[in-house]
Copies of this chain bind each other. A is one copy, B any other.
Amino acid sequence: MSPRHPERRSEQSAKAVVQAALELCQEIGYAKVSIEGIASRAGVGKNTIYRWWPSKAAVLLDGLLELWGGAAPFPDTGDIVADLKAQMRAAVASLIADPVGLHYRALIGEAQHDAALAQDLHERLIRPMVLRANERIELAQRQGQIRGDLDPELVVELLYGPVYHHWLLTGRTPEPARLDAIIDATFASMTPQG
Contact = CB atoms under 8 A, between A and B. Distances in A.
How many monomers of this chain does the complex have? 2
A42 B189 CA distance: 53
Interface stretch (A15-23, A86-94, A167-175): A167-175
A178 B190 CA distance: 18
A74 interface: no
Interface residues of A, number: 49
A90 to B, nearest CB: 19
Contact of A112 (B108, B182, B185, B192): B108
Interface of A: 29-31, 105-106, 108-115, 118, 122, 126, 144-148, 150-151, 154-155, 157-158, 160-166, 168-171, 178, 181-182, 185-192
